[in-house]
């Protein structure tokens, strides 16, 4: 996982922790519903990122790692 | 100053969110019984007084003097800040409060709680500027600054929750409103990332104003609350909490200096 992914995950986990705390503390139904939607949004974004970016990358690394010529490219830092 | 890399932007935002998350450290008050809470709140208020005054006198004002270079200018800004907070409290009382006593009646929030929220919001905004400013200089410095800020936030948040409870908030509300105020850290971070030069120079003004807010709230709103009960037991426990707050801030300042020098 490259550095940008790590940051996105750290921010995502922090957001989820904050939203979970607010959800637990607030007693108004409307706020609870909004916070629940926020949790789903953040979780959805993180899951979408896993399935569209991290998982295919990990699979490609696994499949091609037996080739000596293969060197995993850091997509964010290395120019194509 | 370095250019804005994603490491600086996301690092500063993550650090800001972490500081906001720390504001939930007063959560433990929710599980306490009303009787326990009643005996604990004066001690938390005493802790808040020690931490606020300690933060103002041994952390914020010396930092402002280092940046500004003139003790006279900083002291004048602190005085102006205290005058502004006095006016603000007068406005809060005039606009919303008919109860000028120091004991809240049912479902009423005392001005001391509102002033505490305003002061805390300004302080957190300053913290956001400091975090993002240090990330702009060097991400490693950003991490150490974040650790130092978290270390001084924890006792302060405990004291703030105590002050909010004393001001008429229910335990859940107190923790939640304290968290809402801590979100100004993110505003400070974004303000600095967008306008780094202005943010850096605004610290010479914002640091003494945050200090003046703390001195005003501690001296005019919180200390009178501590004089409500005057038994020997209260005197000893409140004095201990007060001294603990000052001692803790002194320790944090030393810890911060060691961390930033290393």
ipTM of the complex: 0.76
Maximal CA-CA distance, chain B: 59
pTM (2 d.p.): 0.76
What residue has token string 């997509």?
Answer: A75
- Which tokens is A2 given? 């490259």
Helices (H), B23-138: 34-55, 61-68, 71-96, 111-137
| The pLDDT of residue B134 | 77
What residue has token string 């609350």?
Answer: B225
Query: Given a cut of 50, is residue B1 above it in pLDDT?
Result: no
Distance separating alpha carbons of residues B119 and B52, to the nearest angstrom: 10
Residues of A in contact with B176 (CB under 8 A): 22, 25-26
Tens-place pLDDT, residues A3-59: 788 888 899 999 999 999 999 988 889 999 999 999 999 999 999 988 888 888 888
- What CA–CA distances, in Å, run from B46 to A45, B32, B53, B94? 44, 19, 11, 27
Q: What is the mean pLDDT of chain B?
A: 83
CA neighbor of A8 nearest in space, from A76, A72, A78? A76
| The pLDDT of residue A55 | 85
Contact pairs from chain A to chain B, CB under 8 Å: 41
Query: Given a cut of 90, is residue B144 above it in pLDDT?
Result: no
C-alpha distance from A39 to closest chain B C-alpha (Å): 15
User: Which of A3, A14, A19, A74 is the best substitution to test chain B (most B C-beta atoms within 10 A)?
Assistant: A14
Distance separating alpha carbons of residues B126 and B110, to the nearest angstrom: 25
What residue has token string 């939930």?
Answer: B24
Residues of B in contact with A18 (CB under 8 A): 17, 20-21, 179
What mean pLDDT is predicted for residues B108-119? 83
At B248, the pLDDT band (50, 70, 90 cuts) reads confident
C-alpha distance from A24 to closest chain B C-alpha (Å): 9
């Amino acid at each position: 996982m490259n550095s940008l992914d790590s940051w996105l995950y750290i921010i995502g986990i922090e957001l989820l922790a904050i939203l979970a705390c607010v959800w637990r503390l607030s007693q108004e139904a409307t706020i609870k519903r909004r916070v629940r939607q926020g949790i789903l949004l953040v979780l959805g974004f993180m899951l979408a990122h896993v399935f569209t970016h991290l998982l295919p990358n990990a699979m490609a690394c696994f499949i091609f790692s037996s080739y000596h010529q293969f060197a995993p490219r850091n997509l964010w830092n290395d120019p194509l | 100053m370095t250019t804005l890399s994603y490491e600086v932007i996301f690092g500063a935002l993550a650090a800001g969110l972490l500081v906001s998350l720390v504001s939930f450290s007063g959560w433990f008050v929710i599980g306490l019984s009303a009787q326990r809470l009643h005996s604990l709140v004066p001690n938390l208020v005493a802790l808040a007084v020690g931490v606020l005054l300690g933060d103002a006198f041994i952390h914020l004002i010396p930092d402002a003097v280092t940046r500004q270079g003139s003790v006279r200018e900083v002291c004048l800004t602190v005085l102006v800040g205290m005058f502004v907070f006095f006016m603000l409290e007068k406005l809060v009382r005039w606009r919303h409060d008919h109860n000028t006593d120091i004991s809240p009646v049912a479902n009423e929030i005392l001005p001391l709680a509102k002033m505490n929220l305003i002061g805390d919001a300004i302080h957190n905004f300053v913290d956001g500027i400091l975090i993002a400013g240090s990330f702009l200089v060097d991400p490693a410095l950003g991490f150490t600054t974040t650790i130092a800020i978290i270390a001084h936030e924890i006792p302060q948040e405990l004291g703030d929750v105590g002050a909010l409870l004393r001001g008429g908030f229910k335990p859940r509300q107190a923790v939640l409103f304290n968290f809402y105020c801590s979100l100004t850290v993110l505003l400070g971070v974004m303000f600095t990332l967008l306008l780094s030069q202005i943010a850096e120079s605004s610290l010479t003004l914002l640091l003494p104003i945050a200090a003046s807010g703390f001195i005003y709230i501690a001296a005019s709103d919180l200390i009178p609350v501590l004089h409500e009960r005057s038994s020997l037991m209260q005197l000893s426990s409140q004095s201990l909490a007060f001294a603990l707050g000052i001692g803790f801030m002194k320790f944090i300042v030393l810890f911060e200096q060691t961390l930033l020098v290393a």
